[in-house]
Every structure is written in structure tokens, then in C-alpha cells.
Amino acid sequence: MIVWLNGAFGAGKTAAARELVELLPDSNLFDPGLIGAGLRALLPRKRLDEVPDCQGLPAWRRLVVDTAAAVHGEVGGTLVVPMTLLRQEYRDEVFGGLAARRIPVRHVFLEVGETIRRERAARRGETGGTSGDGGAAVCGAAAGDRYPRPVRHPAAGQRVPDWLRADAHTVDATFLTPRQTAEKVAEAIRAGEGACDIVQTPEPTAETVAAGVLLFDEADRVLLVDPTYKPGWEFPGGVVEPGEPPARAGLREVAEELGLRLDTVLRLLVVDWEPPRPPGYGGLRLLFDGGRLTTAAARDLLLPGSELRGWRFATEREAAAMLPPVRMKRLRWALRARERGVTLNLEAGTPVGV
């Protein structure tokens, strides 16, 4: 198990984490700040300058998951991780990656009054701070770094997003000592609080075939869903199982994800070959036209909480701000294929043979 202590800079996560490992049997401290420090030493300054902190580096997020899984496999028990995660897409990627490795996560948010956080931040600014409390993922320079430059910590008064309060178990640590905070967290963990119910999607080990289904409302807006286990919005659908026809896989996924049983024959819009990009293996991505949903049918959609947190209909323009670029390119060509009544063959999101 992993106990992830979240909270804004100055919330006292690292101090509480050190106390927590004394209270939870068979537990160890895991500091992702060490990964950030390693990336500062390994990556060129030009790349580090492109992101405000190390969490913006895909390599950091992958290494946190892979290293935590490796350490957990080595020592077992519980890993206590003090680290600020204020962006939901980063939470989805990291927690989803851990779930795929069958490592359950308990998410605890330490709430501390803004005045106290600002006072702590000011003191830490004078002393240089510790790596685990907000500054752990900062890609600035520490003493001895080959590229000295200012460290940019998250602001002490930074607003805590609403999704985080809903996702994590909250402990008000405003007037608590680190030991008292750890005791509150340990009590919550023993009571089963903070459990993140995330679908366990195994990491692919080879190329895959995935089938997505585009569903439209009466205004021809497309239905998008928000997964809990990976960043960015997505189309309903999933990986085609061995021996399963892709169109049938699309129907199955729509039923599983939305509680909707389509009685229509799916029409293939695009076949897109996705090239392998480590750590991914790529494969074929198919998008089918699932037709229009009535207002009543849309109102009755049911989402599995462990897999999807929300859905909405979006125009093409709105979708461009919601989907990762590779999925948006696929959607654009699927919409053109739907308009023209054709099927398009894509390679890396670009039509070929047209």
C-alpha cells in the first residue's frame, strides 16, 4: 500500500510522514524529491527551463510510478509518500500507474490555515527547505547543482482545487504537531479512509488494438468521458480482448462504461496506426460511429466510479481543449469521415492512401 500525503507547500507533509512511518507497522518513507534531484542532474538546462517544476516532466511522473513500484516490491509493506499533487491529470497518471501495478493508494490531504502555511514558507525560504514538502518536485537548483538558478516553489497561498478535497481524506493539521498529525492520519488509514478506487488497467506488454465509440447528442456534439486512471478526456471504449471482434468490443465497452446497450450496428470511421513511443507500444486505434443519443438516454448514463468520474457532450472546438493532441487529431478525421460517409486510414493521426 502507498499512503500519499498531499497538501500545499508548508502543510508539514514531510515532518508528518517521518512520524507516520513510526506509527504504521512495516512502513518506509519514499521521497519523490530524490527523483526530481536526479532529473536536475541528468537533463539539460534547456529542458528544465521549459517546465515550472519536475512534475511537468513526463519522465518524472513515469519514474515516480516505476521507482515506487520497484521499492514496494523490494521492501513490501507501506510506502509513505509526502508530495504535493495539485493537478488532477498528474494525480490520474501517477495513481493510475500504481493501480495498474496492483498497488493500492490511500490519499490523505493535510489542511493547514493559509497564515500558518505562509509563515512556514517564509521560514523555509530562509533555510532552503526540505525536499519532500512541495519543493520535492521543483526543478530548480540546489547547492552543488551544475545549473544554479532560483527554485520556484508553489505559492504558500495557492488555492487548493475542489477535486483534491473530494478525492482525498482531509486531516485538519492547522494546530497539530507533526506527531499529532501523523496520529490522525494513522487513525484514518486504519479506518479505511482515503482509499482510491481506481480501475486496474494492466500496462501493455505489446501492441494493442483499441476500439472507441463516438456518440452524439441531438446537436451533433460528441460524448467525452473523464477517466480516473489516466490524464485527459477520452472516448468511450477500450482495448479489444484476444479473439474479440473490434465492433463488439466497442459495444461491450459502452455497456460497461456507460450502462448503455446500443442496438445499432457500429460504422467504422477511422483506423489509426499509433506508433510505439516508449514506454507505450502503440498499435491500432479504431473509432466507430455509435449514432445519436436521445436526451432521455443521455440522462440515464451510469458511470463506474472506479474508472470514469464524469462525462459531457462537446463541440469540436471544445473537444480541442479537453483531449490530448493525439486523440484530437483522431477525432477531427473521424468527424470528417462521418460527414463524408467514408472510412479513413490514418498513420499517426494523418490520412494515407487518400
pLDDT in single tens digits along all 354 residues of the chain:
999 999 888 788 999 999 999 999 999 999 999 999 999 999 999 999 898 888 989 999 999 999 999 999 999 999 999 999 889 899 989 999 999 888 999 999 998 877 666 666 666 654 444 444 444 455 544 434 443 333 344 444 556 788 888 889 999 988 899 999 999 999 999 998 888 877 777 777 889 999 999 999 999 999 999 988 888 899 999 999 999 999 999 999 999 889 889 888 899 999 999 999 877 789 999 999 999 998 888 888 888 777 888 899 999 999 999 999 999 999 999 999 999 999 999 999 999 987
Residue 149: what pLDDT?
Answer: 39
Q: Residue 214's closest CA among 252, 269, 261, 162?
A: 269
User: Phi and psi dihedrals of 296, rounded to 5?
Assistant: -65, -40
Residue 344: what pLDDT?
Answer: 96
DSSP run (H or E) holding 101: none
Residues in the chain: 354
Cα–Cα distance between 170 and 183 in angstroms, integer?
Answer: 13
Residue 150: what pLDDT?
Answer: 37
SS3 232: coil
DSSP run (H or E) holding 222: strand 222-227
Cα–Cα distance between 262 and 243 in angstroms, integer?
Answer: 21
Residue 315: what pLDDT?
Answer: 96
Residue 123: what pLDDT?
Answer: 63
Residue 59 C-alpha cell reads as 519522465
